[in-house]
Structure 1
């Protein structure tokens, strides 16, 4: 367990520019009783507006690819023809969020689209009336598609139903978890649908009276929200005053507080847990992060692979280890981290200068560090094999002779991405499901490799996200072909391919 000295250091009030600031970790009662007097620290988001062409790849046996009922597997990024401006009606997708097996996508007109598995009602629309397409028993003997076609309603992007039309307000963020969908409006309201699951199965949606919510419902406990961050089966929310709320499954302390079994349904109500002065939140499957206004970074939740970037006082890790409360991460604090993304057992952090740090589980190569470049802090098993990298380590892109700056990062459960400042994507990690987008590979990808394919070679990729076995990116086509070719030549040199 992490030494308490770190928590005490984080709790201490500090003085900056002659003004004493409130501590980032406060008591919940202090926040509760002082809320009305607390200043607004965070601005309301404006939302994204850049029109994007959407690319998908990976394994889509649960309709995740959104390419219609016939496409279950794509080995490299492919343009989704169902999300072009011709189909959407003179607009394009401007933002999206990828859950475990579904996607939410927001278009330029403020409409929300969804596709993927709908067992938990995450698509926000009725897909039960889809016609069932069975495998042709008289078809070719070498037809290996034993399950027939996919559900047409789930595999085809369609509009989420029953979203409220709030006069003067629009959706500015979407968030997808494994079994839940949520949207944030620019007035600070949050709507959600789906459910949360736990180790024992279905946990529910709201307290004990709603088990599964199939239409968007306003989360009344939340107001003035400026950001959402989804895990596997929990959700974080940050408000304008810098306070963090959490709800859902808390069995690995991902809610930042202890869950008492007799009060387990209270975890389905958003509650703050003592984090204040926060400007950014992020979440992996079972662990979470927060960055305060002084660039201090905190983590809590499951930590058996060092995915919280913390070890015990002896630098050790233990199976099933937990960080029970938000704890300062010295190795990330004051590096001016602007974004953190995380998978099941690993995480990436992006600095304001374009550097990427990686840490967590190693055995599926999700950290992106070659075996011969692993740091001394690497934790090894009884057989001497690398198991995890608990200390954030700077990643190298290309052959390392020229510095590559990164503008965006993304992760799936066990694979990762980094987008260069001019729109190329590097990928690494678990490769069996084609998640990295590098084509058919015999082994996992241990270091960042640039995605090279016809569909995206002339695109400046802007956004990327991934689920359990598939990935999604969005980009803007480069109109100047000479500029695009020069960019390719530049990265061929960076990657040592000249």
Structure 2
């Protein structure tokens, strides 16, 4: 990628970072105050630190699960039939209804690059997707793939059916026999993890790096096929999974990171001779934190005062920084947590990120987006690009590094409040307070859920289909080329119709 040039001289007056990931102006001192707290200082002061976070309660709202996108690697969980490999709009997953689960209901889920974890109301954990790295937590090797019969003309799919065990939701095996409840799930590209209500974390799978397999724990375990307790973590209140790394936040507000750190997503420099130490959770001086989030290679944290920090890969401005000259360069890194001044007064409550772009949700329901533009990940139409837009040497818009508020519907005067956001690698979602999904971004894999598309979706577009028409969507998640949503059916038909009328007017 060529260096990106600023369209006009404006944007940040503070919070820049140079090509080496170092903040300039006012941010460097403020960021250094946080990161300069050494590991030894935190260890010796741990018992004196106040408890600022609490372990979340188990979710209880029953959800019907909808899936869509491309599932050639079993990503959709709709069974082995070859016809389920492409789903252009949200489709109810029949294996996860209350009837199919024997009276239980799905209450939570987490989406990885090519797999999904789901929690039901009986504290059982389900999984589906590609199991090459053991991320499903169960043995799928005994089920052979069914190849297409050469004389069968009923399907034009040349690859035949999918692996039945991987493409169908199944129970994760060998979880601890305990009365403790699972309160959160996390999924990366190659690893799965769960958090229990006693603060314990169990994980399985592996981490990968640029050179291939990195491992699971130190240099002792390369691949962990069953859930294993992470002994280094205690009193954890939140997990956040990237492409091949994990963050954990504890009750004291201290952040831990482990996995692949080649893009500084672990908040610290990883020396090659100590690369396996990165497979053990370690804190890196970031404390007083109440919330964590991560994209594929970049990370975020929000402290107890509402300040937002970012670190990791930043070549498209996905960390919301430019260098001291106001440019972006390929390989740009933010090497330590650095304050994003433009977000620190907006009461951010949720952050979701893909490979090169980021979304943030405010307390009042506004959605901000920044990062890569050329696959329309940020949801801003060409004619509405802000002055802070970066262009390549040919004058093509490549990035929007300044967090920019998104608008929904055709009437710019209408304020649509959102309650949830989600990011795949190159596509994005926002869920309104009324439970409708708006989608945008890369469209070739049907991942936006808007049906067959001739080009990428440049601005938020509401999903309109029969399956979700009368559903209040609560949760949204996305992987590399597929998406998952969970919602509750609206029983009041009049209220459901009023909701539809409202958004038909908003969308024009």
- 1:314 Cα shift? 2.3
Query: For the structure 1 residues 129 and 294, does the alpha-carbon distance in structure 2 shift closer, same or farther, using more than 3 Å as the test?
Result: same
Give the distance between the partners of 1:311 and 1:52, measured in 2 at CA: 41
Pair 1:346-2:367 in alignment: no
Match for residue 78 of structure 1 among 80, 86, 91: 91
Give the distance between the partners of 1:235 and 1:224, measured in 2 at CA: 16
Give the secondary-structure state (helix, strand or coil) at the position aligned to 1:452.
Answer: coil
Give the distance between the partners of 1:24 and 1:484, measured in 2 at CA: 49
Q: Which residue of 1 aligns with 2:174?
A: 162
Q: Which residue of 2 aligns with 1:172?
A: 183
Pair 1:240-2:251 in alignment: yes
Give the secondary-structure state (helix, strand or coil) at the position aligned to 1:331.
Answer: helix
Contact map agreement 1:253 1:302 (CA 8 A) in 2: yes
Number of aligned residues: 484
Pair 1:267-2:287 in alignment: no
Question: Mind listing any 5+ residue stretches in structure 2 that lack a counterpart?
Answer: 1-17
Pair 1:369-2:380 in alignment: yes
Contact map agreement 1:24 1:277 (CA 8 A) in 2: no
TM-score normalised per structure 1: 0.96
Give the distance between the partners of 1:401 and 1:477, measured in 2 at CA: 30
Contact map agreement 1:227 1:239 (CA 8 A) in 2: yes
Pair 1:61-2:76 in alignment: no
- 1:89 Cα shift? 1.1
- 1:132 Cα shift? 2.8
Give the secondary-structure state (helix, strand or coil) at the position aligned to 2:277.
Answer: helix
Q: Which residue of 2 aligns with 1:134?
A: 147
Contact map agreement 2:347 2:362 (CA 8 A) in 1: yes
Q: Which residue of 2 aligns with 1:104?
A: 117
Give the secondary-structure state (helix, strand or coil) at the position aligned to 2:341.
Answer: coil
- 1:24 Cα shift? 7.3
**After superposition, what is the alpha-carbon deviation per residue over 1:414-438, rounded to whole angstroms, capped at 9, x for unaligned?**
0000000010000000000000000
- 1:36 Cα shift? 1.6
- 1:11 Cα shift? 4.5
Contact map agreement 2:109 2:117 (CA 8 A) in 1: yes
- 1:495 Cα shift? 0.5
Give the distance between the partners of 1:221 and 1:74, measured in 2 at CA: 41
Give the secondary-structure state (helix, strand or coil) at the position aligned to 1:433.
Answer: coil
- 1:241 Cα shift? 0.2
TM-score normalised per structure 2: 0.94
Q: Which residue of 1 aligns with 2:506?
A: 494
Match for residue 330 of structure 1 among 332, 341, 351: 341
Q: Which residue of 1 aligns with 2:409?
A: 398
Give the distance between the partners of 2:203 and 2:290, measured in 1 at CA: 22
Q: Which residue of 2 aligns with 1:3?
A: 23
Q: Which residue of 1 aligns with 2:394?
A: 383
Give the secondary-structure state (helix, strand or coil) at the position aligned to 2:473.
Answer: strand
Q: Which residue of 1 aligns with 2:329?
A: 318
More relative contact order in 1 or in 2 (CA 8 Å, sep 6+)? Answer: 2
- 1:9 Cα shift? 2.2
Q: Which residue of 2 aligns with 1:17?
A: none
Give the distance between the partners of 1:46 and 1:11, measured in 2 at CA: 34
Give the secondary-structure state (helix, strand or coil) at the position aligned to 1:211.
Answer: coil
Give the secondary-structure state (helix, strand or coil) at the position aligned to 2:194.
Answer: strand
Q: Which residue of 2 aligns with 1:118?
A: 131
**After superposition, what is the alpha-carbon deviation per residue over 1:16-48, rounded to whole angstroms, capped at 9, x for unaligned?**
xxxxxxx57622221122112111110111021
Give the distance between the partners of 1:191 and 1:223, measured in 2 at CA: 11
Give the secondary-structure state (helix, strand or coil) at the position aligned to 1:127.
Answer: coil
Give the distance between the partners of 1:431 and 1:421, measured in 2 at CA: 25
Give the secondary-structure state (helix, strand or coil) at the position aligned to 1:476.
Answer: strand
Q: Which residue of 1 aligns with 2:457?
A: 445
Match for residue 302 of structure 1 among 290, 313, 318: 313
Which runs of at least 4 in structure 1 moved beyond 3 Å after TM superposition?
none
Give the distance between the partners of 1:190 and 1:112, measured in 2 at CA: 14
Give the secondary-structure state (helix, strand or coil) at the position aligned to 1:8.
Answer: helix
Give the distance between the partners of 1:395 and 1:57, measured in 2 at CA: 24
